[in-house]
């Protein structure tokens, strides 16, 4: 979603800010803007559309001298919430005097009443945004101390924010603050960079400070002074970033999505490495705690997440029930806190999120903690809000995922969930022999995935046959049901083909009415207890003229024979097979989207991390 970059230091701010915005493009946005301090005034350039438009606009608005001399500024990519993605609604927004500029991620929920109050005092607003209201409010509170003005304004705000503020009257500082929307401060040598995401910082410094909720910082070129909103100093550690700048570049691939699909053998190896115990047939996941006894007392697993992470949770549900004999449930995170879930200390709540910033998942974590559950996270981004909020958890180690469509995060999530279920299972009825067998299968996941990636060209040829349909169905049973849902999500989000995932048995209860001659049905029919029944459902679709693409187990001629086209994936335990199966669907969707000429890495309307409810 929206992205923030701020810079104060020794080099020209505009280049750092535009470079930072480019690194945040992957998050999804529809307009962008930048504000610089030019002597004793604030100057702003904005553009709808891409950062490249903004760069062009800034170069035509501003003289080369200004580009060279301005060493402080703030910038933003906006994903529209209040008002369409026009230039006027883009950030930065100015206060009534024009001397204060603000960029903001999050939502000011009480902006209407604040705006009415300010309008009654004579303020005139140019945009439809909640952010402009906050800019005016800061201006209204400013009695000569920008820091105090921001504190006073934020005390009046209901909602979430990550902000950066500059003022022409205090040209030596940026004020930044957060509540519910991340802010990371990169500490360089004589320069400081603020961003909503470490990707914008990593090219400049590896030393970062993560703000906590309700922290506010006075940032200068040489210092970061952090307080709470009541002006009480707080101490935050400097952390070292683990990623390097190259990880956020395409590295010769046409798209980040393709790069990330290809990275999966490595990212899976990283997610699995050191976490399997091949003596005990179990797993070693430090984030789950060291006490088997504590884990044995848990009576239920509840997984929360959204989108792709929700689909990973659904595979996890099968794993926990099958391997660990424990009740396991999945709840869409947005629904979780509003339905007042019944939870207690023996419930094991796992919050699953690639970004660690998804607002609904974060809210679910807070609710589960409130109810006294044993809460942990399964997150990719180190130091993210959900990771810090849970305090306990397992990182995926998948590396930065830049493509909006999630790929490697899903396969790493499923792998880690399998290892978690294995550990819980070994504390219950799962025997050492069974555990050893599964542990070895988990260890082989990277090579299973590589075998599917090696079929890329063949999958591209199949994809070419499925370009012209505007609708597609994905079906599966058992753990392949969430794989079907994930396949449909991948196809719809990047190719804009309307794709729906269904439990294979559910088709007959309504959706089969939509099948016509040639309607694509993608059946995930790998070997496992439910395969024969899935093949029966495939026959029902064929009888109605559907064109069937099967994801089948290598050498399974019975399954191959009922498909019009098939992609075979290596034989594996039915839970493990979900991973190569989904990789086949990722590659299929990628090529369909590529051949349809879609943008792929930044699909329309989508954002990488959804930080609003
Ligand atoms: C789809 C996709 C989204 C995310 C969802 C949750 O490809 O990426 O559905 O999975 O927005 O995001 P995280 O995992 O960051 O909480």
Average pLDDT value for residue range 530-541: 96
What ranges in 325-476 are assigned the alpha helix state H? 333-336, 359-370, 385-390, 408-426, 432-443, 445-453, 456-463
Q: Among 446, 408, 390, 152, which Cα is nearest to 272's?
A: 446
Q: Identify whether residues 23 and 8 lie together within a single domain.
A: yes
Q: Of all protein residues, whose CA lies closest to atom 3 belonging to ligand 1?
A: 307
Domain containing residue 417: CATH number: 3.40.50.10490
Q: Identify whether residues 438 and 457 lie together within a single domain.
A: no
Q: Identify whether residues 406 and 481 lie together within a single domain.
A: no
For ligand 1, say whether the CB of 380 is within 6 Å of any of its atoms: no
pLDDT of the residue at 26 = 83
**Residue 242: pLDDT over 80:** no
For ligand 1, say whether the CB of 361 is within 6 Å of any of its atoms: yes
Total domains present in the chain: 3
pTM over 0.95: no
- How is residue 224 annotated by DSSP? E
Average pLDDT value for residue range 518-542: 96
**Could you give the CA distance from residue 300 to residue 320 in angstroms, rounded to a whole number?**
9
The tokens describing 521, both together, are: 């049905």
State which residues form the domain around 416.
Answer: 250-443
Q: Identify whether residues 211 and 281 lie together within a single domain.
A: no
- How is residue 97 annotated by DSSP? T
Give CA angle at 369 (363, 371), nearest 5°.
105
Q: Of all protein residues, whose CA lies closest to atom 11 belonging to ligand 1?
A: 307
For ligand 1, say whether the CB of 358 is within 6 Å of any of its atoms: yes
Domain containing residue 36: CATH number: 3.60.20.10
Burial 250-278 (b: 16+ CB within 10 A, else e): eeeeebbbbbbbbbbbebbbbbbeebbbe
Task: Give kind and range of the element (H or E) at residue 148.
Answer: helix 146-155
Q: Identify whether residues 478 and 579 lie together within a single domain.
A: yes
- How is residue 417 annotated by DSSP? H
Average pLDDT value for residue range 206-226: 96
pLDDT per residue as tens digits for the range 546-559: 999 999 999 999 99
Of 378, 410, 443, the domain-final residue: 443
Q: Residue 454 contacts by C-beta under 8 Å, 6 or more apart in sequence?
A: none
Tell me if 101 sits within 8 A of 44, measured CB to CB.
yes
Q: Which of 46, 259, 490, 608 is catalytic?
A: 608
pLDDT per residue as tens digits for the range 10-29: 999 999 999 999 999 888 88
Of 425, 443, 461, the domain-final residue: 443
Q: pLDDT-based confidence at 612, cuts 50/70/90?
A: confident
Ligand 1 mutation pick, 303, 307, 495, max ligand atoms within 8 A of CB: 307
Q: Of all protein residues, whose CA lies closest to atom 9 belonging to ligand 1?
A: 307
Q: Identify whether residues 494 and 530 lie together within a single domain.
A: yes
For ligand 1, say whether the CB of 306 is within 6 Å of any of its atoms: yes
**Could you give the CA distance from residue 215 to residue 176 in angstroms, rounded to a whole number?**
8
Q: Identify whether residues 224 and 255 lie together within a single domain.
A: no
pLDDT per residue as tens digits for the range 568-581: 999 999 999 999 99
Q: Identify whether residues 566 and 602 lie together within a single domain.
A: yes
For ligand 1, say whether the CB of 309 is within 6 Å of any of its atoms: yes
**Residue 40: pLDDT over 90:** no
**Could you give the CA distance from residue 130 to residue 114 in angstroms, rounded to a whole number?**
9
**Could you give the CA distance from residue 477 to residue 463 in angstroms, rounded to a whole number?**
23
Facing residues of 385 across strands? none
Instruction: Please say whether the dihedral angle defined by the alpha carbons of residues 381, 611, 304 and 387, taken in this order, is positive or negative.
Output: positive
For ligand 1, say whether the CB of 493 is within 6 Å of any of its atoms: yes
Least confident window among 22-26, 156-160, 500-504: 22-26
Q: Among 320, 322, 330, 331, which Cα is nearest to 295's?
A: 320
pLDDT of the residue at 94 = 98
Give CA angle at 44 (41, 47), nearest 5°.
175
**Residue 1: pLDDT over 90:** no
**Residue 383: pLDDT over 80:** yes
Burial 174-211 (b: 16+ CB within 10 A, else e): bbbbbbbbbbbbbbbeebbbbbbbbbbbbbbbbebbbb
**Residue 245: pLDDT over 80:** no
For ligand 1, say whether the CB of 405 is within 6 Å of any of its atoms: yes
Q: Is 2 labeled as catalytic in the residue annotation? A: yes
Beta strand 498-503 pairing with 471-476: parallel
Q: Identify whether residues 255 and 231 lie together within a single domain.
A: no
Average pLDDT value for residue range 247-276: 93
Å from CA of 219 to ligand 1 middle: 32
Ligand 1 atom closest to 490 (CA): 7
For ligand 1, say whether the CB of 353 is within 6 Å of any of its atoms: yes
Q: Identify whether residues 437 and 508 lie together within a single domain.
A: no
Q: Identify whether residues 514 and 538 lie together within a single domain.
A: yes
Q: What are phi and psi of 427, to 5 degrees?
A: -85, 0
Q: Is 608 labeled as catalytic in the residue annotation? A: yes
CB atoms within 10 A of CB 368: 26
Ligand 1 atom closest to 610 (CA): 11
Average pLDDT value for residue range 346-351: 96
Å from CA of 452 to ligand 1 middle: 23
Which residue has 């294995």 as its token pair?
422
Q: Identify whether residues 454 and 383 lie together within a single domain.
A: no
Tell me if 611 sits within 8 A of 357, measured CB to CB.
yes
Of 231, 247, 263, the domain-final residue: 247
For residue 313, give the 3-state DSSP assignment. helix
């Amino acid at each position: 979603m929206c992205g923030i970059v701020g810079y104060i230091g020794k080099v020209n701010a505009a280049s750092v800010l535009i470079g930072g915005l480019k690194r945040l493009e992957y998050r999804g946005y529809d307009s962008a803007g930048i504000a610089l301090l030019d002597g004793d005034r604030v100057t702003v350039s904005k553009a709808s559309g891409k950062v490249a438009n903004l760069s062009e606009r800034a170069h035509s608005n501003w003289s080369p001298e200004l580009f060279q001399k301005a060493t402080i500024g703030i910038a933003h990519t906006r994903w529209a919430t209040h008002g369409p993605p026009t230039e006027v609604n883009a950030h930065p927004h100015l206060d009534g005097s024009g001397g204060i500029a603000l960029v903001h991620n999050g939502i000011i929920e009480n902006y209407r009443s604040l705006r009415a109050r300010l309008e009654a005092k004579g303020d005139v607003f140019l945009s439809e945004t909640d952010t402009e209201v906050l800019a005016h409010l800061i201006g209204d509170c400013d009695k000569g101390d920008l820091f105090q003005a921001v504190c006073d304004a934020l005390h009046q705000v209901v909602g979430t924010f990550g902000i950066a503020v500059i003022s022409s009257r205090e040209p030596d500082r940026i004020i930044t603050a957060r509540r519910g929307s991340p802010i990371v401060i990169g500490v360089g040598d004589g320069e400081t960079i603020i961003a909503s995401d470490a990707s914008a910082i990593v090219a400049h410094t590896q030393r970062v400070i993560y703000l906590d909720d309700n922290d506010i910082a006075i940032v200068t070129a040489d210092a970061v002074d952090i307080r709470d909103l009541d002006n009480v100093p707080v101490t935050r550690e400097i952390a070292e970033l683990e990623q390097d700048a190259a990880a956020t570049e395409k590295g010769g691939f046409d798209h980040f999505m393709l790069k990330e699909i290809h990275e999966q053998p490595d990212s899976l190896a990283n997610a699995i490495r050191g976490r399997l115990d091949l003596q005990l047939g179990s797993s070693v996941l430090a984030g789950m705690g060291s006490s088997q006894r504590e884990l044995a007392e848990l009576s239920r697993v509840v997984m929360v997440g959204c989108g792709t992470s929700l689909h990973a949770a659904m595979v996890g549900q099968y794993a926990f029930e099958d391997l660990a004999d424990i009740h396991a449930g999945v709840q869409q995170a947005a629904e979780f806190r509003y339905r007042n879930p019944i939870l207690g200390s023996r419930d094991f709540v796992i919050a699953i999120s690639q970004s660690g910033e998804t607002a609904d998942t974060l809210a679910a974590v807070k609710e589960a903690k409130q109810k006294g559950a044993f809460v942990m996270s399964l997150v990719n981004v180190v130091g993210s809000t959900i990771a810090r909020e849970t305090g306990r958890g397992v990182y995926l180690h998948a590396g930065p995922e830049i493509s909006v469509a999630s790929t490697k995060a899903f396969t790493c999530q499923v792998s880690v969930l399998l290892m978690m279920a294995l550990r819980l299972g070994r504390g219950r009825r799962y025997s050492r022999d069974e555990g050893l067998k599964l542990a070895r299968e988990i260890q082989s996941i990277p090579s299973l995935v590589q075998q599917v990636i090696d079929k890329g060209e063949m999958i591209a040829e199949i994809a070419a046959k499925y370009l012209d349909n505007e609708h597609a169905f994905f079906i599966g049973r058992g753990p392949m049901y969430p794989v079907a849902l994930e396949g449909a999500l991948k196809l719809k989000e990047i190719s804009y083909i309307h794709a729906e995932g269904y439990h294979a048995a559910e088709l007959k209860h309504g959706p089969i009415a939509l099948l016509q001659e040639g309607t694509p049905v993608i059946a995930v029919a790998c070997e496992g207890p439910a395969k024969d029944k899935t093949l029966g459902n495939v026959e029902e679709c064929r009888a109605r003229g559907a064109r069937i693409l099967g994801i089948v187990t290598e050498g399974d001629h019975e399954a191959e024979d009922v498909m019009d086209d098939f992609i075979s994936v290596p034989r594996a335990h039915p839970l493990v097979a979900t991973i190569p199966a989904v990789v086949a669907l990722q590659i299929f969707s990628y090529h369909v989207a590529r051949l349809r000429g879609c943008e792929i890495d930044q699909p329309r309307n989508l954002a990488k991390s959804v930080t609003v409810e």
